[in-house]
Structure 1
Amino acid sequence: MKITRKKTIIAFLLTLCILLIAFFVAMNTGGLNVTVEELFRGLFIEYDERVAIILELRFPRIIVAILGGAIMAMSGVCMQAVMRNPLADPGIIGISSGAAFAAVIVSSFFPALAPFTPIFSFAGGMIAFFVVYALAWNKEISPIRLILTGIAVDAFFTGLYQAFNAFTGNSYTGAASIINANISLKTWEDVYVLCIYAVISLVLAVLVAGKCNLLSLSDKTVIGLGVNITKVRMIISIVAVLMASVFTAMVGAVSFLGLIVPHIARLLVGSDHKKLLPYSALLGSVIFLIADTLGRGIAYPYEISSAIIMAIIGGPMLIILLKRSGLVYGK
């Protein structure tokens, strides 16, 4: 189905409107509620204690959810482009758990290096990626073999960091938040750090968008154009793992976000990565913010991790995609 320019613009505008609504709902989910007028006055005109509390406690969490959702969604798009597989997702194939294990170790034993946790997380994610790719390779990459290998690697790293958490008696707050994907204690300092990596991720995504489009062609066609396809795959893979690792280090291990968002985005704006990547970032922000808000509000005053909400949504979606796994990537 051809996606017209008009439909693409409508999709962007509607999703942006939904994001604004989700932002306001998230801001008012909890014991304190304010109107838009009260928020504006409290932020720009005169001090309001309720607005100040919301600004310090809820805004960092909301912004982290928005930026994190965008980063992870773009990572999913890039990973699926590299593997020509709509089932590929950093959370499912073990990258997130490898990144989480590295982040847990750094957070627990080297807290002074907290601002650089995403870098160490990136190293863990790359190790997990190469392990999955090497074990799944047999002359070619089979979507089902990739998923099964990824699940095994994911289970291994997940077992490692959960065992570590059990041995330490859940005493490391930073490590526990990564393991449980808990963003309730995020501060403005976390927002500043994530903003830096988010900008880097967005720039890299823009730079590799054209290369992602090349990978939707057959290998023979790409080679015939004089392009080193191995080099292109490696560059996009590194970008995808970097984005997934940054998300994991700052938010935690969350599966299915990088799977669901690109799939929905292709239905709405098509497979051109110059449109698909920015729209997936916007849609990822919406979906993850809604998931986090649901987790906060569905059993208030108790919270359900956004990772659990995404698992409930993503499980059925993965089953549907597995049944349709005979489809060619990008179609």
Structure 2
Amino acid sequence: MLAKDKQVLTRGKKIGIIVAAFAALLFVSILSIGMGTADASFQEIIGAITGRVSKGGNYHILQNIRIPRIVTGVLVGMNLAVSGVLLQGVLRNPMASPNIIGVNAGAGLAAISIMALFPQSIQLITPASFIGALLASLLIYFLAAKTGQKSSTVHIVLAGMAVSALLNAVTNGIMMINSDVLDVTFSWTLGSLSGRSWSAVNMILPYSLVGLVIAVFISPKLNLFELGDEIASSMGLRIGLYRVVIIMVASLLAGSAVAAAGTIGFVGLIAPHIGRLMIGSDHRFLVPLSALLGGVLLVFSDTLARTVFQPVELSVGIVTAVLGAPFFLYLLKNMQRKEG
């Protein structure tokens, strides 16, 4: 596969595609900043970004509401997309993504548990979400390993859906039992960027930086995983060590995304697959491209969520589900045909 990718696209062309994706992310982000109940001009947008405008007109809306919301959306989209790439690579399964195999559900359960049991310790939500995502990831992996079906698309998807349904049921139960003390809205369970301020950016940014940098650094190892465990081991790859590290990084990224914006689905499925269509399966290029595409997808989806039905605002998770569900069914049908 890698040899084929090199024949189709040169290294320079792949880098060019990544640069184009970065430009697209900037364009979508700037466009989103200017759209809403109060539209803003390009001059106002640039002024709010640089801080060179007087504090009047749309300055407060742009500087303190829209810009931090969009920055949070970019980081959440990047985290979910790269988490999907890592899970797909380490499990050698193109259908693996944080929401489908229950990673988001594990993070959501951990976050809700902290909110219900330790409401005064809000700073624990992100690390707890990471632990919940990690435990869910490991559970799915070991369930697949026990049955000897680690590479089976249908088996991992079904196991993930079962675990996700169980974890979501427990989460909903905790929310109902603690409805009098739990300050969680229904939109959070669907995934929402509404009301995200600079504190949300500060919360997710360190986890994003650490996770994304490590993901880029270990991306060449994912190429070896595609060759199979035996061949990868013969080439010197420490399979067990890197499998644990990659799952931990994927969980860190997904958990921090859930802590910041709730359980948003399908970004970790759509972005990596679009990236493969554009650039091939070489993870050295696929990881950064998927991150940028994830940011574009989530910012675009959130813009639709808050503008299409003004003044009513949808949860961004609804939009990503509408976009992602048909995409998931299409991929599942193709994978079943290949396995059959």
In which range does the TM-score fall when normalised by the shorter chain?
over 0.9
Specify the alignment match of 1:318 in structure 2.
328
Counterpart selection for 2:173 from 146, 163, 184: 163
Specify the alignment match of 2:113 in structure 1.
105
Distance 1:313 1:295, change over 3 A: same
**Structure 1: 5+ residue stretches without partners:** none
- Contact 1:98 1:128 (C-alpha < 8 Å) held by counterparts: yes
Q: What TM-score, normalized by structure 1, do the two folds share?
A: 0.93
Specify the alignment match of 1:7 in structure 2.
13
**Structure 2: 5+ residue stretches without partners:** none
Q: Aligned ranges for residues 27-66 of structure 1 at < 5 Å?
A: 27-42=33-48, 43-66=51-74
Question: C-alpha displacement at 1:129, in angstroms?
Answer: 1.8
Q: What TM-score, normalized by structure 2, do the two folds share?
A: 0.90
Question: C-alpha displacement at 1:303, in angstroms?
Answer: 1.3
Counterpart Cα distance in 1 of 2:262 and 2:54 = 36
Specify the alignment match of 2:227 in structure 1.
217
Question: C-alpha displacement at 1:217, in angstroms?
Answer: 1.1
Query: Are 1:259 and 2:269 counterparts?
Result: yes
Counterpart Cα distance in 2 of 1:273 and 1:45 = 42
- Contact 2:30 2:45 (C-alpha < 8 Å) held by counterparts: no
Specify the alignment match of 2:303 in structure 1.
293
Counterpart Cα distance in 1 of 2:180 and 2:168 = 15
Counterpart selection for 1:80 from 85, 88, 106: 88
Counterpart Cα distance in 1 of 2:227 and 2:144 = 22
**How many pairs does the alignment contain?**
329
Counterpart selection for 2:209 from 189, 193, 199: 199
Letter in 2 for 1:271: S
Question: C-alpha displacement at 1:327, in angstroms?
Answer: 8.3
Specify the alignment match of 1:23 in structure 2.
29
Specify the alignment match of 1:234 in structure 2.
244
Distance 1:262 1:217, change over 3 A: same
Counterpart Cα distance in 2 of 1:158 and 1:231 = 30
Question: C-alpha displacement at 1:29, in angstroms?
Answer: 2.4
Counterpart Cα distance in 2 of 1:26 and 1:136 = 41
Question: C-alpha displacement at 1:196, in angstroms?
Answer: 1.1
Per-residue CA distance 1:189-227 (angstroms, 9 max, x = gap): 111111111111122112211211111112221121232
Question: C-alpha displacement at 1:178, in angstroms?
Answer: 3.6
**Which stretch has the larger CA shift, 275-284 or 15-24?**
15-24
Counterpart Cα distance in 2 of 1:29 and 1:171 = 35
Aligned alpha-carbon RMSD (Å): 2.0
**Which stretch has the larger CA shift, 145-154 or 126-135?**
126-135
Counterpart Cα distance in 1 of 2:338 and 2:10 = 22
Per-residue CA distance 1:169-196 (angstroms, 9 max, x = gap): 4763346554131221111111111111
- Contact 2:154 2:336 (C-alpha < 8 Å) held by counterparts: no
Per-residue CA distance 1:120-142 (angstroms, 9 max, x = gap): 11111122122222223312312
Per-residue CA distance 1:73-106 (angstroms, 9 max, x = gap): 1100000001111100110001110110100111
